[in-house]
Amino acid sequence: MLSILRTVGEVLRHTFAPRETIQYPEQKPYLAPRFRGRIILSRDPDGKERCVACYLCSAACPVDCIALQAVHGEDGRRYPAFFRINFSRCILCGFCEEACPTLAIQLTPDYEMCEYDRSKLVYEKEDLLISGPGKYPGYNFYKEAGLAIEGKDKGQAENESPPVDVRSLLP
């Protein structure tokens, strides 16, 4: 008897409690910036591609759904000739983001990418590349690393002295 009353009480309490369910898709849930959703490729603060095609994301990917090919541009920068993510395989684990040494690949709070046709879930570089720096506004790999590129000579990276004159014997 007591248990029946308690059950009725619980039902009444839940009937008037505020609802957790939201009216998706009219209403959108709050997603934190660190939510692991759709993957994007970001750009440097100066607008150039951040990805240097180091292959670490593809190596870290547990489902092997990232394929890319590195090329060296005329300006000395290394970038992917193609960069393909097969989202029909992707498990959004975020290992690629953790592996990325240049903060180029980032997971975003967007998951609305369903398709009826699996082949439409294959994203190429043009689909992945955004126009901004994403979550990390200030970082620029080429400013830190000692590789010379167009507009940044040897010795002009962060914390570098100018190139030495190898023909000098002075200390």
Partner 1 sequence: MPTIYIDNRPCTVAAGLNLLQACLSSGFDLPYFCWHPALGSVGACRQCAVKRFKDEKDTRGELVMACLTPADEGTRIAINDPEAVQFRAGVIEWLMLNHPHDCPVCDEGGECHLQDMTVMSGHTYRRSRFPKRTHRNQDLGPFINHEMNRCIQCYRCVRFYHDYAGGTDLNVFACHDHLFFGRFEDGPLESEFSGNLVEICPTGVFTDRTFKAHSSRKWDLQTAPSICPHCGLGCNTLPGERYGELRRVRNRYHHQINGYFLCDRGRYGYEYANSDRRIRQPLQVRRGQAPATPLTAEAALAQWAAMAKGAGLIGIGSPRASLEANFALRRLVGAENFYAGLSEPDACGLETVRAILTDGPVPSATLQGAGLSDAALVLGEDVTQTAPLLALNLRRLRYRKAAVMAAGFQLPVWNDAGVRELAQLNLPNLFIAAPHATRLDDEAAGTLHVPVPELLRFAQSVAAVLDAPEAPAADPGDPVTALAWQSAQALLKAQRPLVVAGMALGEPALLQAAAAIAARLKAMGRGAELCLCVPEAGSMGLALMQARALTAAMARGAADTLVILENDLWRRSAPEKVKAWLAQARHVVVLDHLATATTAAADLALPAAAPAETAGTWVNNEGRAQRAYAVMPPADPARSSWRWLQAMARSAGRVDLNGWQTIDDVAAELARTLPPFQTITELTPAVTVPTAAGKLPRQSHRYSGRTAMNAQRDVHEPKPPADPDAPLAFSMEGFDGPQPPGLTTRDWTPGWNSEQALHKFQGETAGLLAHHDPGRRLIAPAGKRQSLQMPPPAASPKLAAGEFQLVPLHFIFGSEELSMAAPAVALRAPKPHVGLGPDNGFAVDGQAVWLRIGDLLTEQIVRIVPGLAPGLMGWPVGLAGMPPIVLPAVARVEQ
CB-based contacts of 32, cutoff 8 Å, min separation 6 = 109
Nearest CA to 92 out of 120, 112, 117 is that of 112
For residue 29, CA distances in Å to 12, 26, 102, 151 come to: 26, 10, 30, 44
Rounded CA separation 54/17 (Å): 52
Q: How far is CA 123 from CA 62, 70, 80, 105, in A?
A: 18, 17, 14, 13
Q: Rank residues 36 and 89 by Cβ distance to partner 1 and give the closer one.
A: 89
Q: Please, what is the minimum distance in Å from the beta carbon of residue 125 to partner 1?
A: 11
**36, 48, 89, 135: which one contacts partner 1 (CB under 8 A)?**
89
Report the nearest approach of partner 1 to the CB of residue 141 (Å). Answer: 7
Q: Does 72 bind partner 1 (CB under 8 A)?
A: yes
Residue of the chain from 40, 65, 107, 128 that contacts partner 1 (CB under 8 A): 65
Task: List the x/- string, 116-145, binding to partner 1 by CB under 8 A.
Answer: --xx-xx-x----------------x--xx
Minimum CB separation of residue 140 from partner 1 in Å reads 13
Per CB under 8 A, the segment of 5-13, 29-37, 86-94, 132-140 that binds partner 1 is: 86-94
Of residues 35 and 89, the one with the C-beta less far from partner 1 = 89
One-letter amino acid at 142 equals Y
Q: What distance in Å separates the CA atoms of residue 149 and residue 75, rounded to the nearest whole number?
A: 6
The answer to whether 70 and 78 have CB atoms below 8 angstroms apart is yes
CA-based nearest residue to 78, from 7, 141, 32: 141
48 binds partner 1 (CB under 8 A): no
Contact between 9 and partner 1 by CB under 8 A: the answer reads no
The footprint of partner 1 (CB under 8 A) covers: 52, 54-56, 58-59, 61, 63-70, 72, 78, 84-86, 88-89, 101-102, 118-119, 121-122, 124, 141, 144-148, 154-155, 157, 159-164, 166-169, 171
